[in-house]
Structure 1
Amino acid sequence: MHGPASPGWLLVALCAVTGAYCVRRMRGAAAEERRTAGDEALMGFGMAAMAVPTTVFTPPSWTWPVYAVVFGAAGLRALWVAHKGAHHLHHAVGALAMVYMAVVMGISAGQGHVHGGSSAGLPLVTGAFLLYFTGYVLVSGMRLIPVPGVAGAPVGWGDRPELTQACRLSMGIAMVAMLMLI
């Protein structure tokens, strides 16, 4: 990721921990929840890999097309299963944003850019993704507000819906940060 090293490492840590939690959610979940958690784990680990500061490690030029293909395939899969729920559409938008960032970062790397700013990207596309993910973050944050009087069967820490929502919120925040740094 182009930009200062400290925010890059914070993004790496946030996204890697989120990805690990999503892998944990895959255990013992129903098939559909397992697939959703797997999609989110892929996104978390992919974002972590893309957020590694270029001052520490500059990926080889073939990395960016690989990211674009992997996330392009993930986006197509999300669109394919979108009839099952709106969250799959969000996964498709997220995957498309990752493809866009991979292309922009590949172009930036080819031009020798080492600092942030959307000089290599299309400001309109970057702005549209920023608008979408900012709205997603605001809505996800509102969903974390507790609802009084809701009691249910006790669940383990890996199955708590508020942790799942917090992970989705943190990935949305990370996506906003990454889009601002490309």
Structure 2
Amino acid sequence: MHGPASPGWLLVAVCAATGAYCLLRMRSSDERQRRAAGDEALMGFGMAVMAVPGTAFTPPAWVWPVYATVFGGAALRALWAARTGSHHLHHLVGAAAMVYMAAAMAASPAAGHGHGGSGVPALTGGLLVYFAAYVLVSGARLLPVAGVPGGAGTVAGGTKAGNGTGGRAVAWGDRPELARACRLSMGIGMLAMLPAF
């Protein structure tokens, strides 16, 4: 990604940390969560590599078609999985956005992949609207909910932080609010990356 180096490195760090946490979430005993965590780890690390400032490292030209192929496969997998749950549609949009950005990088890797004087392309604008809405909804889900049984430690969705159902402690890798925070950070990352395309 071309642009100022400091914000680029910050984006790399956030996306890589999110990808690493998602790898840890793959140890969950819940199969659905393991699959979602794997998709999110791929997205986090993919975004981290794509966000590396162009002044530090310019990948060889063959990287972007490989990116498009990997994330195209992820998009097809998410499309297939969307039969069973709507969250897979978000994975589909995220993977499609990565294919779009990889195609833009392949088309003009050294030109800063800006859109010139013609304004924001319609696809970029549509993705920006989607991820802005996703970030707002995800952020709202992380806010504490007053009046929900469970008291002050309750997060949106009714899960008490640190406790699972029946008073059992929930492993930190299985905590839904941490998974939501990861998704929120990747949504913010997409909002930071997309304007360059």
The TM-score bracket by the shorter chain reads over 0.9
Could you tell me which of 115, 123, 143 is aligned with 1:118?
115
* 1:117 CA drift (Å): 3.2
**Within the alignment, does 1:102 sit opposite 2:99 as a pair?**
no
Match of 1:131 in 2: 129
Distance in 2 between residues matched to 1:169 and 1:5, nearest whole Å: 23
Work out which of the residue numbers 180, 184, 193 in structure 2 matches 1:165. 180
Equivalent residue number for residue 23 of structure 2: 23
Deviations 1:17-67 (A, max 9, x none): 000000000103311111110000000000001111110000000000000
Q: Which has the higher contact order (CA 8 A, sep 6+)?
A: 1
Q: Secondary structure at the match of 1:83?
A: coil
**Cα distance, 1:154 vs. partner?**
1.9
CA-CA distance at 1:147 after TM superposition: 2.4
In the alignment, what sits opposite 2:49?
Answer: 49
Calculate the aligned-residue CA RMSD, in Å: 1.7
Once residues 29 and 9 of structure 2 are traced to their aligned partners in structure 1, the CA distance between those partners, rounded to angstroms, is 31
Length-normalised TM-score, structure 1:
0.93
Paired with 1:90 and 1:28, the residues of 2 have a C-alpha distance of 21
TM-score (norm 2): 0.86
Aligned-pair CA distance for 1:102:
0.4
1:71-106 per-position Cα deviation (integer Å, ceiling 9, x unaligned): 000000000010111110000000000000001111
CA contact (8 A) 2:28 2:174 kept: no
1:91-132, Cα deviation, whole Å (9 max, x unpaired)? 0000000000001111121xx313x63339971010000000
Partner of 2:195: 180
**2:153 maps to what in 1?**
none
Q: Kindly, what percent of the aligned residue pairs are identical?
A: 66
SS in 2 for 1:131: helix
Going from structure 1 to structure 2, the CA distance change for 1:63 and 1:121 (only over 3 Å counts) comes to farther
Instruction: Point out the structure with the larger helix share.
Output: 1
Number of corresponding residues: 179
Unaligned residue ranges in structure 1 (runs of 5+): none
CA–CA separation in structure 1 for the residues paired with 2:5 and 2:82: 36
